[in-house]
Amino acid sequence: MGRVPNRRRENGLRALLAGLACAVALALLFWPGSASSGPTDPTLSLSAALAETGASQRLVRVEGIFPAADLVQIPYPLQLLIREVQTGTGYVRFDLSGGVFEGNAPELADGLDASDAAGLLSQGTPAPGGAVLFLGRDRIEILLPPGFPSGAAEAQLFVVTAESPVPVLSNPVAFQVPGTTP
């Protein structure tokens, strides 16, 4: 005679497997760093900036902590501001998801603060000769436009998003921009 299945045991096993599947799905959904999570307020911190002169161009290397992975995977609104310190108002803004802009902004005379950041996004004109050359995990390399003056400068990162009411800023880092070599 054949064996009669134990329906109570089968139903209990099905319920256990269904509960386990739900637990795994919930764990994956709420696991830190899951694929469904989006970027939050980034950590922006600069440790150094250095400018070098080539034959007719000036390269600036900025090092620090910023959301480089987000920049590669999604259009992320990270901005690098290079501010001329002598007048305090001249700047070049590198939109790291595309575009280089230069201009003068009187509100930058005392440095970049959160109340200035959003307004900068609609200011400036395209800066021919300025370019982002390298964007890595902890380093950004840019070419300054030819008209950017030599002398004391500051580099600073900032992010303005529709989701965050307050722009996020890094610390400013001072450096010297050398003159161009003829």
Considering the domain architecture, whether residues 26 and 64 belong to the same structural domain is answered as no
Note down the domain range covering 142: 45-177
Joined together, the tokens standing for residue 79 give: 């901005």
Classify residue 53: in a domain, yes or no: yes
pLDDT(18) > 80: no
Cα distance between residue 6 and residue 27, in whole Å:
32
Classify residue 64: in a domain, yes or no: yes
Helices within the chain (DSSP H only): 7-30, 68-73, 114-120
Q: List the one residue out of 181, 177, 180 whose CA is nearest residue 61.
A: 177
Considering the domain architecture, whether residues 29 and 109 belong to the same structural domain is answered as no
Joined together, the tokens standing for residue 124 give: 């400036």
Considering the domain architecture, whether residues 74 and 163 belong to the same structural domain is answered as yes
Classify residue 164: in a domain, yes or no: yes
Lowest mean pLDDT among 12-21, 31-40, 109-118: 31-40
- pLDDT score at 10: 62
CA distances from residue 38 to 68, 73, 75 in whole angstroms, order as listed = 14, 11, 12
Considering the domain architecture, whether residues 1 and 89 belong to the same structural domain is answered as no
The count of domains in the chain is 2
Percent of the chain at pLDDT above 70?
71
> At 130, is the pLDDT very low, low, confident or very high (cuts 50, 70, 90)?
very high
Of the two residues 36 and 84, the one the predictor is more confident about is: 84
Classify residue 182: in a domain, yes or no: no
Considering the domain architecture, whether residues 163 and 111 belong to the same structural domain is answered as yes
Classify residue 115: in a domain, yes or no: yes
